[in-house]
Amino acid sequence: MRRRNVYLLIFILVLFGFALWSIVPLDKNVFDREGLRLGLDLAGGSYLVYQADLSGIEPGTENEIMDGVKGVIERRINALGITEPVVEVQKYEGEYNIVIQLPGIADIEKAKETVGLFTVLEFREQDAAGNWTPATGTVKGEELTLTSRYFKQNTDVVIDSYGKPLLIFEWDETGAQLSEQITSRLIGKQLAIYLGDEPLRGEDGHIIAPTVRAVIEDKGQIEGLSLADATELKYLLNAGRIPVPLGRWVNGVFEPSVPLYERTVDATLGADSIHKSIRAAAIGIVMLLLFMILYYRLPGLVACLSLGVYGVVLLSIFKLVPVTLTLPGVAGFILSLGMAVDANVLIFERMKDELRGGRSLAAAVEAGFNRAWPAIRDSNITTFIACIVLFWLGGTLGAFMVRGFALTLFIGVALSMFTAITVTRTVLRLIMGSQVITNLAAYGVTSFRTARNTK
């Protein structure tokens, strides 16, 4: 028995050590972006939800089309180097929604551009000063920029007789006129391809800017690209336009390009929220620990240790899974700290009952745990039920904050059952076994006799 407890203690210490190591990379702050994944309300950024107008497509191909839309948007976002973007297709009551989260982009107009609903790939030429400016031509008296809008959707990659990849493409009528004007004045010069304000780059980081060798009218080819770059470009050009209109339905009428939901949080507000949550958590936890130690004495102190293990392991789970922390999620975490103590309180109250009943310390500890367990199990299941319902609610529409709370609270309560039972029990058993502290006052029971009298 004793030996088993020592092994358990070693296991707990290893777990604690690992968790601590995982959450605190030495050169990073705990709440640094690399440390924990933060939601938009903490890190700042934009959140957009669009509905797709699938009225023009063949029934049965919806899932395929939406996957395509998702892919296009993902590629565009990745091309801009945004870290941890989330693009999801949600099917909700027969409507297809596309949910886009862009951390770090606090300018909603830029976010919308990034998604590429308004912009397409644009060709640029270098002016005398070496700056890239849009390559334009005149069609029917109108000055137009050459963009991917004028590609036919049949761009492809072929391998030439020397084994080199070639990207072959075809312009539509307007594109052919523009291309002819532009390429004839740019022979021997480069044309770059821009997405928003960023040039497209190859896998080696170089700007993709092919040199014009000849005048291109309706058909052309680009040489000298790596196979990966050529394939990527093929996708981008073919997906120059998202295959179905994105926008929203208002009373049966489709409004293109207007998101159903949009939310943008400034990074400074997020930073302020983090700062305030940490301060609130610190104050709350100190009060909690003081209360536990003053009221339950030695077991209270053990509960504090087990709460420490709980907090560190929980943060480690958040980081390793990873769970995206939102502001309500942080509230859920802090709330779960308060609730995590509950299992300990249940056990200690039982222990006190047993001690008052005249049992020995060791027997009281065991009985306390055994008899408190059904209540701990049954009562926590109700919190799980609430979390599951919340998770469903959070998934039905744009309320991404709801899910964060449900998830953190769920994980927190589940873990608290483990730490209360394993950590608190093991440490208490070892203290019992060592016979170091046998004074009942240390367990919050004044003495046998008075205890018996109150019964």
In terms of CB distance, is 187 or 385 closer to other proteins? 385
Tokens of 116: 């590429």
In terms of CB distance, is 81 or 94 closer to other proteins? 94
- CB of 320: closest distance to other proteins in angstroms? 24
Which pairing describes strands 45-52 and 142-145: parallel, antiparallel, or unpaired? unpaired
Q: How many Cβ atoms sit within 10 Å of the Cβ of residue 80?
A: 17
Q: Which of these, 116, 32, 44, 35, lies nearest to 80 by C-alpha position?
A: 116
Bridge partners, 211 (sequence order): 190
- CB of 200: closest distance to other proteins in angstroms? 27
Distant-in-sequence, close-in-space partners of 164: CB < 8 Å, separation ≥ 6: 223, 224
Residues 407 and 376: their CA atoms lie apart, in Å, by: 20
In terms of CB distance, is 175 or 404 closer to other proteins? 404
The H or E element containing residue 247 is: strand 246-250
Residue type, 225: L
- CB of 317: closest distance to other proteins in angstroms? 19
In terms of CB distance, is 237 or 409 closer to other proteins? 409
In terms of CB distance, is 157 or 265 closer to other proteins? 265
The alpha carbon torsion through 113, 117, 120, 126 (nearest 10 deg) reads -20
- CB of 197: closest distance to other proteins in angstroms? 19
How many CA atoms lie within 13 Å of 330's alpha carbon, on the beta-carbon side? 23
Q: How many Cβ atoms sit within 10 Å of the Cβ of residue 2?
A: 10
- CB of 311: closest distance to other proteins in angstroms? 12
In terms of CB distance, is 38 or 225 closer to other proteins? 38
In terms of CB distance, is 165 or 311 closer to other proteins? 311
Query: How far are the Cα atoms of 21, 56, 69, 319 from residue 59, in angstroms, in the given order?
Result: 52, 9, 16, 41
- CB of 167: closest distance to other proteins in angstroms? 37
Residues 414 and 326: their CA atoms lie apart, in Å, by: 19
In terms of CB distance, is 219 or 276 closer to other proteins? 276
Which pairing describes strands 136-139 and 132-134: parallel, antiparallel, or unpaired? unpaired
- CB of 28: closest distance to other proteins in angstroms? 24
Asked whether 124 and 191 are in contact (CB, 8 A), the reply is yes
Asked whether 53 and 244 are in contact (CB, 8 A), the reply is yes
Tokens of 240: 């120059």
- CB of 158: closest distance to other proteins in angstroms? 44
In terms of CB distance, is 48 or 72 closer to other proteins? 48
Distant-in-sequence, close-in-space partners of 237: CB < 8 Å, separation ≥ 6: 121, 148, 151, 155, 169
- CB of 422: closest distance to other proteins in angstroms? 20
